[in-house]
Amino acid sequence: MILGRVRAYAGHLALLAALVALAAFLASGPGRLANGATDEGLRADIAKLAYSSRDLTFRWTPDLEPQPFGGPDRSRLLEEIRSGLPAPLPALISDGWFADQVAPANAAIAGQYLAACPTLVGVRRQVSLRGGEMTRIVEGRLPRSSRTSAEAIVGTDEAKALELKIGDSVTLNTRSGVATVRVVGRYDPVDPASPFWDDMRLARVACPSADEDTRYRATLLTDLAGAERVRADAKELNQTWRYRIDERRLTADQVTALTTAVAEARRHPPENTGFQSGVDTTLAEFEKRLRSVQAVLAVIRAGILATMAGLILLAARLAADRRRGEYALIRARGGSVFAIAGRTVAETLVVVLPAALLGRLAGTLVPGRADTGEPLLIVGFALLGLLAPAVLAAAGARRPDFTGHRRDLTAGRPSPRRITFEVFLIALAAGGAYLVRQRGIDAGAGVDPYLVAVPVLLAVAASLIALRLIPYPLRVAGRLAARARGAVAFLGLAGAGRGAPLRSWPLSVLVVAIATGIFAGTVATTVSHGRDRAADLAVPADAVVTGFSFAVDTPATIAGLPGVERATPLLLVSAAEVRPAQSTLIAQVQAMVVDPASGLDLPAGFTTAPRSDVVPAIVSPRLAQRVGQGGAVDIQGRRYEFTVAAVQDTAPGLSTAVREFIVLPSQAMPVPDFQPLVPNRILVDGSGWDAATVREVADEGQKAQTLKATGREVDAFELNMPATVTTREAYRSSLDERGVDGVLSLTFVAGLVSAAALALLAVALTVLAGAPARGRTLSRLRTLGLSTGQGRRLLVYELVPLLGVAVLAGALAGAALPAIIAPALGLDDFTAGVPADVSADPWLAAGVLAVTVLAVIAALVVEDVANRRLRLGSVLRLGEEQS
């Protein structure tokens, strides 16, 4: 019997089941996708960290200097320290290494010692937690040190750079002693990319004197006895336990616990050790951005899920309205309200539960991590789809109507109960908006469901206000239409005015959907514009070439390359010393010297200032407070006096992370001809140029500058900082790919598409809900000569005002939401430090118009299909009401 009724009303129940399945999918699938993208962002942030920041390092710091030779082998503590770390750290560590070494010290190689800038060489014994061979001997043999002599092996790259051969001796001159080790073998790493080598790779580092260039820093490997012998001779104890966190095991929901665990390890390291790591700083920054992402995602998700809940209620109401006559007949035969509710639950149970399970299954197919609240949401939607038809059917059956009178003809005012409820809802939305601005959506204890629902409440409040006001202009328009020829406009506007209060529920669903889509679009535009400004500041040309120091003629050489229209030098000086004129305090700030031909957006008087002993300068607000009217700044060994010409928060060529800076125009500086300023940046403008060629020319300029400064020729691999070319497009793209920022793009696209689709679905269900009443009206009007075309125009006059008001209210609410709850969203975290000024894309207005047009077309199509199914020609002839 139940299955028979299910087959009889298969269309209504199938619609309800489809909405429940879609809701269950939206409650699980998008959340998993967002969590997966967030996890990948966290892993990418950790993976790109340098080993000194990423790894957990414990350094031996004894209270009393132990016996340096023959002491205990502390490599055995690797596993003990790992297992003693606070949870969840032990499960996240993929490998660890114990190192017993004499740190890189000034070394004499094969008896040769460079007095001015000696090579740095360290000797180390390193043991891995996982074990395994890390080296492959290609010449000579492994070390076999004794109590009297130390032996070591050298890597192939190190041997080439230091010109070491088998049998050579290396003498280390430490602060406390002298140690000698003999090279007995040459090796190649089994896996050169392994983190085993991270803290002992061959590198070029700066010499102690600024007049010198760079020198090599290398490490030799020895055995246990060799490490003890070298340690005893050098009178130096340097032992570390380093642990690598496996980013592949990390998930974003572990960030808080992981940050706490790292802080605990920092406060309570193993006895006689000190802790070093910067991973907790990265985790804290990630967590801050994650909270902002979760706030935006929660708002959009709440809007989409609230729209789905509204659509389920609309489908339930549609089914209850179609069976109103059936329920009235049951009551007339003695059936109770509870009996009607029970049979409705039995019918919906057959289709709703399988639909919810199907939607849940589809959601699990989406890659990503499940949300903790996912099961609760799915159960909630299943219960809503199961109970809403029964509640609405029971409510309608309490006062059965056997006359078929139209409910929209009653001109009574809204009941006090309804007015009270609407006022309460508006007050709830206003109070929630205030709390969101004061506390944020996530106040540190997780996302607050009430505060997350505030944007939905604001959209509903906007729809209630709009639909309470729309009848008044519609009445005026109706009176004007009554004076014109034809009755179509008058009848349509009159129907719209009478039906506005009755359609507040369906149209509120439409307003929420539109507001969610516009909110997502507005936030996306705001973030995009902020990132555009950040890219313009960091890369104020088509590209910027970065290096250690370029020859003065390098920009001119690059400017002569095909496709390059302009190449101008730029000098950035970190920690430049600024001396205020009226103070003895010294400030260290970022200094930038710009060329007037660079085309940067700077004050006109600044770039055209003549050469003078006192240079005009642009300074940051914080530096302006220190220096007052002016002072002096040291640039490449010379002191230049300056006066403050302008104060700016930012300057093109400097990233937004720079808080204190000074910008000087090169043409106004009294730079001597015999010692010109040496640039370390080159701004490149043009199109079609080859980045590899520009990089090659830039490195040639660096080699020429090194030769001029040190008198020594170097190869490209010996450069302290090989040239890099960063285009504005590449930098702008990188802002979209940082950590959790990739989730935003996914959220915005999903929000816009889902909102548009659900808005059209809401229009279709709104039209279907009123189709029977309009069908009977059209049947009566056709007996008076109303044509099919006039019937469609009647629908347009009746629905367009209400749809237009709903779409307009949703668009205004969605555009206002980012400004209303801006403090809670933290959009500045996604714009690289540039203030996120709320802005809307003009294309959003075109999108709203397109949705409105599509809504009207969808309404006409749905109405036409409904009228065909209702067989309007037979309604008056047979006196039937088709259900």
In this model, does residue 237 exceed pLDDT 60?
A: yes
575 versus 785: the higher-pLDDT residue is 575
Q: State the average pLDDT over residues 62-85.
A: 74
Q: Which residues, at least 6 apart from 658, have a Cβ–Cβ distance to it below 8 Å?
A: 590, 620
Q: Cβ atoms within 10 A of the Cβ of 75, count?
A: 19
Percent share of the chain, pLDDT over 70: 91
**Confidence at residue 662, expressed as pLDDT on a 0 to 100 scale:** 93
Q: State the average pLDDT over residues 669-687.
A: 90
Maximum Cα interatomic distance, the chain, rounded to a whole number of Å: 119
Rounded distance between C-alpha atoms, residue 529 and residue 836, angstroms: 8
274 versus 442: the higher-pLDDT residue is 274
Phi, psi (deg, nearest 5) at residue 581: -65, -30
Lowest-pLDDT range of 213-222, 612-621, 710-719: 710-719
- Specify whether the CB–CB gap between 559 and 701 falls below 8 A: no
**Confidence at residue 734, expressed as pLDDT on a 0 to 100 scale:** 84
- Specify whether the CB–CB gap between 762 and 855 falls below 8 A: no
**Confidence at residue 563, expressed as pLDDT on a 0 to 100 scale:** 92
Q: State the average pLDDT over residues 422-427.
A: 89
pLDDT band at 881 (very low <50, low <70, confident <90, very high): very low
Q: State the average pLDDT over residues 301-308.
A: 90
Rounded distance between C-alpha atoms, residue 133 and residue 140, angstroms: 17
Q: State the average pLDDT over residues 742-749.
A: 76
In this model, does residue 493 exceed pLDDT 50?
A: yes
Lowest-pLDDT range of 196-205, 231-240, 588-597, 823-832: 823-832
Tokens of 707: 């030769």
**Confidence at residue 70, expressed as pLDDT on a 0 to 100 scale:** 59
C-alpha to C-alpha distances, 583 to 589, 623, 626, 632, 646, nearest whole angstrom: 16, 13, 9, 11, 20
Nearest to 271, CA basis, from 235, 228, 241: 241
613 versus 709: the higher-pLDDT residue is 613
The chain-wide mean pLDDT, for the chain, equals: 83
**Confidence at residue 150, expressed as pLDDT on a 0 to 100 scale:** 93
pLDDT band at 544 (very low <50, low <70, confident <90, very high): very high
β 214-222/203-206 pair status = antiparallel
pLDDT band at 495 (very low <50, low <70, confident <90, very high): low
In this model, does residue 124 exceed pLDDT 60?
A: yes
Lowest-pLDDT range of 222-226, 454-458, 758-762: 758-762
Lowest-pLDDT range of 79-83, 606-610, 832-836: 832-836
| Single pTM value for the model | 0.79
C-alpha to C-alpha distances, 106 to 112, 153, 208, nearest whole angstrom: 11, 18, 11
**Confidence at residue 802, expressed as pLDDT on a 0 to 100 scale:** 78
Give 386-412 pLDDT, tens digit per residue: 999 889 888 877 776 655 555 555 544
Q: State the average pLDDT over residues 26-32.
A: 90
In this model, does residue 879 exceed pLDDT 70?
A: no
pLDDT band at 657 (very low <50, low <70, confident <90, very high): confident
**Confidence at residue 411, expressed as pLDDT on a 0 to 100 scale:** 46
472 versus 810: the higher-pLDDT residue is 810
**Confidence at residue 497, expressed as pLDDT on a 0 to 100 scale:** 63
Q: State the average pLDDT over residues 609-616.
A: 90
The string over 535-574, giving b where at least 16 C-beta atoms fall within 10 Å of a residue's C-beta and e elsewhere, is bbbbbbbbbbbbbbbbbeebbebbbebeebebbbbbbbbe
In this model, does residue 501 exceed pLDDT 60?
A: no
Q: State the average pLDDT over residues 658-683.
A: 90
**Confidence at residue 403, expressed as pLDDT on a 0 to 100 scale:** 55
**Confidence at residue 64, expressed as pLDDT on a 0 to 100 scale:** 42
> Rg of the chain's alpha carbons, rounded to an integer?
37
- Specify whether the CB–CB gap between 675 and 532 falls below 8 A: no
Nearest to 180, CA basis, from 191, 170, 189: 170
Tokens of 121: 């060489």
Q: Which residues pair with 99 in a beta bridge?
A: 126, 240
Lowest-pLDDT range of 58-72, 683-697, 816-830: 58-72
Cα angle, residue 670 at apex, residues 668 and 676 outer, rounded to 5°: 105
pLDDT band at 727 (very low <50, low <70, confident <90, very high): very high
Q: State the average pLDDT over residues 852-860.
A: 75
State which H helix or E strand residue 693 sits in.
helix 691-710
- Per DSSP, 367 falls in state S
Nearest to 457, CA basis, from 832, 216, 817: 817
**Confidence at residue 739, expressed as pLDDT on a 0 to 100 scale:** 65
**Confidence at residue 260, expressed as pLDDT on a 0 to 100 scale:** 93
Rounded distance between C-alpha atoms, residue 560 and residue 324, angstroms: 83
Secondary structure (3-state) at 575: strand
Residue type, 369: R
Percent share of the chain, pLDDT over 90: 30
Nearest to 121, CA basis, from 48, 49, 202: 202
- Per DSSP, 716 falls in state G
pLDDT band at 794 (very low <50, low <70, confident <90, very high): confident
Q: Which residues, at least 6 apart from 737, have a Cβ–Cβ distance to it below 8 Å?
A: 44
Lowest-pLDDT range of 401-415, 444-458, 758-772: 401-415
pLDDT band at 66 (very low <50, low <70, confident <90, very high): very low
- Specify whether the CB–CB gap between 262 and 802 falls below 8 A: no
Lowest-pLDDT range of 280-294, 392-406, 426-440, 848-862: 392-406
In this model, does residue 151 exceed pLDDT 70?
A: yes
pLDDT band at 209 (very low <50, low <70, confident <90, very high): low
- Specify whether the CB–CB gap between 247 and 234 falls below 8 A: no
C-alpha to C-alpha distances, 709 to 37, 546, 592, 871, nearest whole angstrom: 48, 19, 22, 95
Q: State the average pLDDT over residues 457-462.
A: 89
In this model, does residue 445 exceed pLDDT 60?
A: no
Peptide bond into 88 cis (omega under 30): yes
